[in-house]
């Protein structure tokens, strides 16, 4: 058995209170301090966080629910978040929702059972109900990347609609008019980015035929199938805008397999998938989110909430985003 605070009481002859106080940074007489330190050293004593948690009602653990852990987007976020939290002594309990809303609900309940101090979520669901159980128990929740309508919940995200509009304006600036969009049709980011797409198209006065609009699941397959369908169209679009990591990946896979070449036959502009910019020819144009900042802000907010030093009302942080230019968009007026 590991040594407990009682063992060091025996060893030093001091009382539990004194020892506990020292451990938690309180002042004790120098000679007692030495005694305690010596005993700790000798017995390899380490605080039992479980016992401490029972009385403080804190676990120093934060739960994170991600829509799909295999997504590189989530992996990158986890990397940054995990490092920040661990520096502060917090553990990260991770739950993979596998793109399934029911699993997501269960995950939140599971985390609550684990008595996490706070919950970070990159959600699958587009309504807040899966987090109700957390709210009831006053467990702080911070949404990352995907906010939820009318949720009144802390959230860190990017200016989705704006950046999508800018990206499409870039395409339009290269004189594209027949632009298709592949996006997720259900969740927040997909919808917002689609709105941004339409903003730009409407402002330019361009129509979007129904078969140029490809809403669907947030997954590689949807990107793949949609791009395939677009390429088979009699009146092919001259440019395609893909609005997330997975969809970009799938669409590029379909393009690579096809007989068409980019940007000669078709121009593409993707989202988040920085990896691809180094992998395929030509270098892709890509909207890239500031992952580290996203992670840092989210960690910062959840810690503030846990320590109770944040204002009452929901904090919403919207980060600016930039577009990485490449060679995957051809100017139709050149050549």
Tell me which of 113, 150, 308, 334 binds a copy of itself, using CB under 8 A.
Answer: 113
User: Cβ of 70: how many Cβ atoms within 10 Å?
Assistant: 12
Choose the contact partner of 72 out of a copy of itself, DNA, none; CB within 5 to 8 A by kind: a copy of itself
Residue 214 to residue 237: CA distance in whole angstroms: 12
Span near DNA by CB under 7 A; candidates 14-22, 230-238, 256-264, 295-303: 14-22
Name the residue among 62, 64, 90, 60 with its Cα closest to residue 77: 64
Residue 133 to residue 115: CA distance in whole angstroms: 12
95 or 158: whose CB is closer to a copy of itself?
A: 95
Supply 87's token pair.
Answer: 């520096």
Choose the contact partner of 71 out of a copy of itself, DNA, none; CB within 5 to 8 A by kind: a copy of itself
Choose the contact partner of 156 out of DNA, a copy of itself, none; CB within 5 to 8 A by kind: none
Supply 238's token pair.
Answer: 């001259």
74 binds a copy of itself (CB under 8 A): yes
Q: Are 213 and 191 in contact (CB under 8 A)?
A: no
Question: In sequence order, what are the residues at sequence separation of 6 or more whose Cβ sits closer than 8 angstroms to the Cβ of residue 119?
Answer: 62, 63, 64, 65, 108, 111, 131, 134, 139, 140, 141, 142, 302
User: Minimum Å distance from CB 88 to DNA?
Assistant: 16
58 or 186: whose CB is closer to DNA?
A: 58
Tell me which of 9, 11, 36, 61 binds a copy of itself, using CB under 8 A.
Answer: 61
If you count them, how many residues does the chain have?
335
Whose structure tokens read 């896979």?
Answer: 253
Choose the contact partner of 29 out of a copy of itself, DNA, none; CB within 5 to 8 A by kind: DNA
Whose structure tokens read 């699941």?
Answer: 217
Span near DNA by CB under 7 A; candidates 49-57, 139-147, 240-248, 272-280: 49-57
CA atoms within 13 A on the CB side of 196: 25
Residue 274 CA, chain-centre distance (Å), reads 15
8 or 168: whose CB is closer to a copy of itself?
A: 8
Where do contacts with DNA occur on this chain (CB under 7 A)? 1-2, 4-6, 13-18, 20-21, 23-24, 26-29, 32, 45, 47-48, 51-52, 54-57
Where do contacts with a copy of itself occur on this chain (CB under 8 A)? 2, 44, 46-51, 53-54, 59, 61, 68-72, 74-76, 78-79, 82-83, 86, 91-96, 98, 107, 109-115, 133, 136-137, 249, 252-253, 256-257, 275, 278-281
């Amino acid at each position: 058995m590991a040594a407990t605070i009682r063992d060091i009481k025996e060893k030093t002859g001091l009382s539990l209170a004194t020892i506990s106080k020292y451990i938690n940074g309180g002042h004790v007489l120098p000679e007692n301090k030495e005694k305690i330190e010596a005993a700790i050293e000798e017995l390899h004593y380490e605080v039992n966080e479980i016992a401490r948690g029972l009385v403080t009602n804190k676990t120093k653990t934060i739960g994170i629910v991600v829509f799909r852990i295999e997504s590189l987007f989530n992996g990158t976020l986890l990397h940054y978040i995990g490092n920040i939290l661990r520096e502060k002594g917090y553990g990260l309990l991770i739950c993979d929702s596998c793109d399934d809303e029911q699993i997501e609900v269960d995950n939140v309940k599971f985390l609550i059972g684990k008595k996490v101090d706070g919950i970070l979520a990159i959600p699958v669901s587009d309504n807040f109900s899966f987090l109700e159980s957390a709210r009831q128990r006053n467990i702080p929740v911070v949404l990352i990347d995907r906010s939820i309508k009318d949720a009144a919940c802390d959230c860190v995200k990017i200016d989705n609609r704006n950046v999508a509009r800018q990206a499409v304006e870039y395409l339009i600036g290269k004189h594209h008019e027949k632009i298709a969009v592949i996006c997720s049709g259900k969740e927040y980011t997909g919808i917002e980015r689609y709105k941004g797409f339409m903003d730009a198209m409407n402002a330019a006065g361009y129509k979007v035929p129904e078969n140029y609009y490809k809403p669907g699941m947030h997954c590689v397959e949807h990107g793949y199938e949609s791009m395939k369908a677009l390429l088979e169209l009699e009146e092919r679009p001259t440019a395609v805008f893909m609005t997330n990591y997975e969809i970009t990946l799938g669409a590029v896979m379909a393009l690579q397999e096809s007989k068409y070449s980019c940007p000669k036959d078709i121009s593409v502009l993707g989202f988040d998938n920085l990896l691809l910019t180094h992998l395929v020819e030509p270098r892709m144009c890509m909207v890239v989110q500031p992952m580290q900042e996203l992670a840092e802000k989210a960690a910062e907010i959840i810690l503030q909430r846990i320590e109770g030093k944040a204002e009452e009302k929901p904090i919403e942080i919207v980060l600016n985003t930039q577009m990485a230019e490449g060679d995957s968009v051809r100017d139709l007026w050149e050549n």
